[in-house]
């Protein structure tokens, strides 16, 4: 039941926003979502399964936002500006969503789901009345580590900008995408206005473009879009 699943995740996120995960009760989540507690257990197997699914959804939404920043608006655009936009999105998403911040940095506040409990337990036989739910919860893939998530951001950036990059070969593109992602992460760890990271990313890319030995003659450096 996709609709019920999303409603339950929305209710769980709202409950977490109002307090700590330890205080979140399954019955309250089910009631807020307008479904039975049995439906909640059928979908997630238990509170740990709900936590894993919630964190994974927020991480996936963050990555979707990265892709949107790298591809919008449609049509030709300065790839340096797109990397700057993705960096701004990273800082804003981490500022507004504590789960995104935790997955990006590996620093989990006490009020968030305990990270060690987010790794699925090894499958085991169950005589529960909900064996399918227990199996589903236990076999879910582990959450990405900060290093893995950073790698996913870099890989998406390289893939989406490969046909537009004017300042060198694939190696320069990979380094530029990695630089932009790591600069954004630095601003997540040491908070500052999200707009500031765009200026820093532009400066770093401009320096890299000037020093790239294979830069095309006459290629334009990243420029700031009109505000």
CATH of the domain at 170: 1.10.357
- 172 in a structural domain: yes
pLDDT given at position 72: 82
Tokens representing 193 are: 């206005």
Q: What single-letter DSSP state applies at residue 143? A: P
First to last CA, the chain: 43
Mean pLDDT of 48-55: 93
- 170 in a structural domain: yes
pLDDT given at position 34: 95
pLDDT given at position 125: 43
Cα torsion angle, 196, 200, 202, 203, sign: positive
pTM beyond 0.95: the answer is no
- 224 in a structural domain: no
pLDDT given at position 140: 59
Among candidate residues 213, 218, 219, the one with its CA nearest the CA of residue 172: 213
User: What is the extent of the structural domain holding 72?
Assistant: 58-110+144-211
- 102 in a structural domain: yes
User: What total of structural domains would you count in the chain?
Assistant: 1
- Phi/psi for 99 (5° steps) reads -70, -40
- 160 in a structural domain: yes
pLDDT given at position 207: 79
pLDDT given at position 126: 42
- 2 in a structural domain: no
Burial class (CB in 10 A: 0-12, 13-18, 19+), 151: middle
pLDDT given at position 210: 59
Among candidate residues 118, 171, 182, 179, the one with its CA nearest the CA of residue 146: 182
- Report the chain's mean pLDDT, rounded to a whole number: 83
Contacts 24+ apart (CB under 8 A), 56-60: 56/140, 56/143, 57/9, 58/13, 58/97, 58/99, 58/100, 58/103, 59/99, 59/100, 59/103, 59/143, 59/144, 59/149
- 50 in a structural domain: no
- 124 in a structural domain: no
Mean pLDDT of 177-199: 91
């Amino acid at each position: 039941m996709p609709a019920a699943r999303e409603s339950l995740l929305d209710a769980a996120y709202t409950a977490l926003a109002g307090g700590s995960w330890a205080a979140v009760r399954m019955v309250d989540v089910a009631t807020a979502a307008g479904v039975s507690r049995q439906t909640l257990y059928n979908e997630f197997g238990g509170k740990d399964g709900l936590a894993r699914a919630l964190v994974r959804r927020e991480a996936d939404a963050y990555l979707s936002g990265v892709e949107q920043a790298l591809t919008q608006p449609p049509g030709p655009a300065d790839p340096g500006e797109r990397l700057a936009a993705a960096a701004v999105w990273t800082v804003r998403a981490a500022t507004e969503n504590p789960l995104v911040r935790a997955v990006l940095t590996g620093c989990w506040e006490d009020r968030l789901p305990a990270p060690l409990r987010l790794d699925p337990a090894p499958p085991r036989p169950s005589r529960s009345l909900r064996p399918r739910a227990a199996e589903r919860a236990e076999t879910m893939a582990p959450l990405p580590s900060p290093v893995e998530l950073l790698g996913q951001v870099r890989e998406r950036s390289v893939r989406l900008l490969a046909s537009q990059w004017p300042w060198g070969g694939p190696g320069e593109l990979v380094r530029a995408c990695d630089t932009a992602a790591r600069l954004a992460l630095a601003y997540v760890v040491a908070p500052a206005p999200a707009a500031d990271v765009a200026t820093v990313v532009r400066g770093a890319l401009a320096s890299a473009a000037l020093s790239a030995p294979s830069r095309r003659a006459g290629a334009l450096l990243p420029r700031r879009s009109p505000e």
